[in-house]
C-alpha cells in the first residue's frame, strides 16, 4: 500500500450555523467537487480528494520520526476542487481558512484495508491500510479479533483479506493503483465498476485474441478475465448505470449460445494447485467436507474423460467454526495426485490452509496458476467440439470435469473443464488460437465470459 496526502480545510466561524439546532448532514459530491463538506462545530470543513495529479509519499516506508506528520498546504494542487466546493457552499465563500490539515493516508491498491492473516506466515496478522480508520476501526478490529480468537470472523472478510493480492502487486503497480483509488474516492459506485489503471498486469495468453473478438476484461488477482463480449456496434467498454445497460443483451446472447450450442471461456485466472504424495488423499479427505473423488486412472499419466469419468468433486474446505474457508474442485489425476481448482483470489488462502493443516503429511504442493492456462467449454455441443479436437497434446488432456457438463449449466465455474495450455508467464508469450477454440466455430459457438455464469444461474 502507498501513502497518499490529503487536505481538509476549516473555515472561520459561519454565522449561518450559529442558530442551527441540528448538525447538517455531511455532503459528498463526486466529479466536480470531489470533496466532503460538513460542519466542524460552528465552522465549515471541506476535505478535498483531487481528481488529477494526486500526491503520493514515502514509497519505501514511513519515516520513524514522521508519526502524525503534517505537510504544508499545497493550495495549487487542490484549488480547482476547493473553488467548486465554495460554489457549492456559498456561505463559506467570503470566509477565511482558519486551519489547513494536510496529512498522509494509506491506500491499498483497491482502497480496502488489509485486515487478516499475513500471507505465507503463521500467526502474523495485519490491521492496516485503513484510509477511513477512525470510521472503520471499531467494526474491523472487532472482526479481526474474532478471526484471531475463533478462527473466523462473523462477516465475510474476503474484500479485506491481505491475501487478495499476490506477488504481481509490485511497488510501481501499488503506486498507480493508490493514485487511482484516491482519485475515485468520491466516484459514484456503479455496479461492476471496473478499475482500469495499471492493467494488464497478468494478461492470459489469449488476452489479445479475446480483445480482438470484443472482450471487455476485468481484473482478478492480477489476471485479466473477460467479462462480456461487445458485438454489433456496441462500444467495447464499460457501460455504467443503476439499471440495465446494453451489456444485458450482449450477455443474453452468450447465455443463448451456451444453452443451445456451445460456449467457450478463458478461465486462466482460476487458482490451480497440484497436491501429490503418499498422504495426499488422506490430507485432502481430512480438510474437505465432500467425498473425495474415488476413482483414479490405471495410468498414472492422465485422466481421460471416457476412461475415468467421475473422478472429480466440488467441495469446501472448512475452518474451525465449521464455516466455509474456500470452495475448490478436486480432480483425481492419479492415485496420489490431485489437481485443485478454485477462485483466482483464493490461491494464497488455499496454500496457507494446506500448509497450516498439513501436520507432517508427506505431500508436495505446487502452485500452477501462473504457469497453466485453462479454457472452459459448456453447452450441448461441448462433447462434439472435443470429439473433433486432438486433445492429448499437453501435459494434461481434457479434464474429467467435462463429464459433468451434459446439461449446459452444470459445471459452470467448476474450472478445470478445458484444455490447459502449458504457457509460461514471461509477459511476452503469444499463443496461437487453441484448436479447441477454432473447433467451436463449427457448432455456432460464442466466446462466453464471466457475467454469464451468474446470469445463467439466476435464470
Ligand atoms: C487529513 C486526514 C483526514 C482524515 N480524515 C478521516 C476521517 O474523516 N475519517 C476517518 O475515519 N479517517 C480519517 N483519516 C484517516 C485516519 O486518520 C486513519 O485511517 C487512521 O488514523 C489509521 O489508524 P491506524 O491505527 O491504522 O494507523 P495509525 O494511526 O498510523 O497508527 C499506527 C501506529 O503504529 C505505530 N507503528 C508503526 N510501525 C510500528 C512498529 N513496527 N512497531 C510498533 N508500532 C508501530 C505508529 O507509530 C502509529 O502510532 C484522515 C487522515 C488524514 C491524514
What string of DSSP letters covers 58-99?
A: -SS---GGGTT-BPPP-HHHHHHHHHHHHHH-HHHHTSPEEE
39 lines ligand 1 (CB under 6 A): no
Atom in ligand 1 nearest the alpha carbon of residue 102: 1
128 lines ligand 1 (CB under 6 A): yes
Q: State the pLDDT at residue 304.
A: 40
Query: From the CA of 121, how far away is ligand 1's center (Å)?
Result: 24
Diameter over CA atoms, the chain: 86
CATH superfamily of 2-107: D-Amino Acid Oxidase, subunit A, domain 2 (3.30.9.10)
135 lines ligand 1 (CB under 6 A): yes
Atom in ligand 1 nearest the alpha carbon of residue 8: 1
Conformation bin of residue 373: beta by default, left when phi > 0, alpha when psi is -120 to 50: beta
Q: State the pLDDT at residue 339.
A: 92
Phi and psi angles of residue 247, each rounded to the nearest 5 degrees, phi first? -60, -30
Residue 394: band (very low, low, confident or very high) from pLDDT cuts 50, 70, 90: very low
Are both 2-107 and 271-458 of the same fold?
no
Atom in ligand 1 nearest the alpha carbon of residue 64: 47
Query: Which of 14-28, 84-98, 191-205, 366-380 shows the lowest per-residue confidence on average (mean pLDDT)?
Result: 366-380
Query: From the CA of 123, how far away is ligand 1's center (Å)?
Result: 23
- Say whether pLDDT at 54 is over 70: yes
CATH of the structural domain 271-458, one choice from 1.10.10.10, 3.30.70.1400, 3.30.70.1230, 3.30.1360.170: 3.30.70.1400
Question: Nearest residue CA, atom 40 of ligand 1?
Answer: 64
Spans of all domains in the chain: 2-107, 114-164, 271-458
Can you tell me the mean pLDDT for 233-239? 96
Residue position matching grid coordinates 476484461: 217
- In tens, the pLDDT along 303-337 reads 444 344 447 889 999 988 888 999 999 988 888 99
- Say whether pLDDT at 7 is over 80: yes
- In tens, the pLDDT along 164-182 reads 999 999 999 999 999 999 9
Q: State the pLDDT at residue 386.
A: 73
Query: From the CA of 190, how far away is ligand 1's center (Å)?
Result: 29
- In tens, the pLDDT along 66-85 reads 989 999 999 999 999 999 99
Residue 257: band (very low, low, confident or very high) from pLDDT cuts 50, 70, 90: confident
Query: From the CA of 142, how far away is ligand 1's center (Å)?
Result: 17
pTM: 0.87
131 lines ligand 1 (CB under 6 A): yes
Amino acid at each position: 500500500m502507498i501513502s497518499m496526502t490529503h487536505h481538509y480545510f476549516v473555515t472561520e466561524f459561519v454565522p449561518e450555523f450559529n442558530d442551527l439546532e441540528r448538525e447538517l448532514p455531511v455532503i459528498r459530491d463526486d466529479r466536480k467537487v470531489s470533496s466532503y463538506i460538513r460542519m466542524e462545530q460552528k465552522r465549515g470543513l471541506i476535505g478535498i480528494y483531487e481528481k488529477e495529479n494526486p500526491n503520493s509519499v514515502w514509497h519505501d516506508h514511513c519515516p520513524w520520526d514522521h508519526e502524525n506528520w503534517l505537510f504544508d498546504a499545497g493550495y495549487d494542487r487542490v484549488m480547482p476542487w476547493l473553488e467548486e466546493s465554495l460554489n457549492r457552499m456559498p456561505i463559506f465563500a467570503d470566509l477565511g481558512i482558519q486551519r489547513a490539515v494536510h496529512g498522509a493516508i494509506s491506500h491499498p491498491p483497491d482502497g480496502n484495508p488489509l485486515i487478516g492473516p499475513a500471507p505465507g506466515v503463521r500467526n502474523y496478522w495485519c490491521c492496516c491500510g485503513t484510509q477511513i480508520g477512525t470510521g472503520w476501526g471499531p467494526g474491523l478490529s472487532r472482526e479481526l479479533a474474532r478471526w484471531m480468537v475463533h478462527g473466523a470472523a462473523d462477516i465475510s472478510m474476503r474484500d479485506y483479506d491481505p491475501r487478495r493480492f499476490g506477488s504481481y502487486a509490485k511497488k510501481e503497480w501499488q503506486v498507480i493503483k493508490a493514485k487511482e483509488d484516491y482519485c475515485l474516492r468520491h466516484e459514484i459506485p456503479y455496479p461492476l465498476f471496473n478499475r482500469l489503471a495499471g492493467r494488464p498486469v497478468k494478461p492470459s495468453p489469449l488476452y489479445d485474441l479475446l480483445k480482438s473478438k470484443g472482450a471487455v476484461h476485468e481484473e482478478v488477482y492480477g489476471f485479466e478475465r473477460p467479462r462480456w463480449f461487445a458485438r454489433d456496434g456496441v462500444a467495447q467498454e464499460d457501460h455504467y448505470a443503476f439499471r440495465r445497460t446494453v451489456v444485458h443483451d450482449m450477455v443474453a446472447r452468450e447465455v443463448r449460445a451456451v444453452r443451445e450450442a456451445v460456449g467457450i471461456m478463458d478461465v486462466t485466472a482460476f487458482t490451480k494447485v497440484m497436491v501429490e504424495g503418499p498422504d495426499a488423499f488422506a490430507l485432502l479427505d481430512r480438510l474437505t467436507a465432500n467425498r473425495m473423488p474415488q476413482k483414479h486412472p490405471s495410468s498414472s499419466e492422465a485422466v481421460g474423460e471416457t476412461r475415468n469419468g467421475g473422478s472429480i468433486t466440488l467441495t469446501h474446505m472448512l475452518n474451525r467454526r465449521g464455516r466455509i474457508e474456500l470452495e475448490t474442485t478436486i480432480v483425481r489425476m492419479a492415485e496420489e495426485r490431485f489437481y485443485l481448482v478454485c477462485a483466482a483470489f483464493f490461491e494464497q488462502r488455499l496454500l496457507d490452509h494446506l500448509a497450516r493443516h498439513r501436520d507432517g503429511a508427506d505431500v508436495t504442493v505446487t502452485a500452477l496458476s501462473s504457469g497453466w492456462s485453462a479454457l472452459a467449454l459448456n453447452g450441448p455441443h461441448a462433447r462434439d467440439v472435443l470429439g473433433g479436437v486432438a486433445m492429448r497434446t499437453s501435459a494434461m488432456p481434457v479434464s474429467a470435469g467435462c463429464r459433468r457438463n451434459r446439461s449446459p449449466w452444470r459445471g459452470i465455474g467448476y474450472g478445470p473443464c478445458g484444455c490447459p495450455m502449458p504457457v509460461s508467464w514471461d509477459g511476452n508469450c503469444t499463443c496461437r488460437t487453441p484448436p479447441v477454440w477454432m473447433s467451436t466455430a463449427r457448432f455456432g459457438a460464442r466466446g462466453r465470459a464471466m457475467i454469464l455464469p451468474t446470469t445463467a444461474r439466476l435464470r
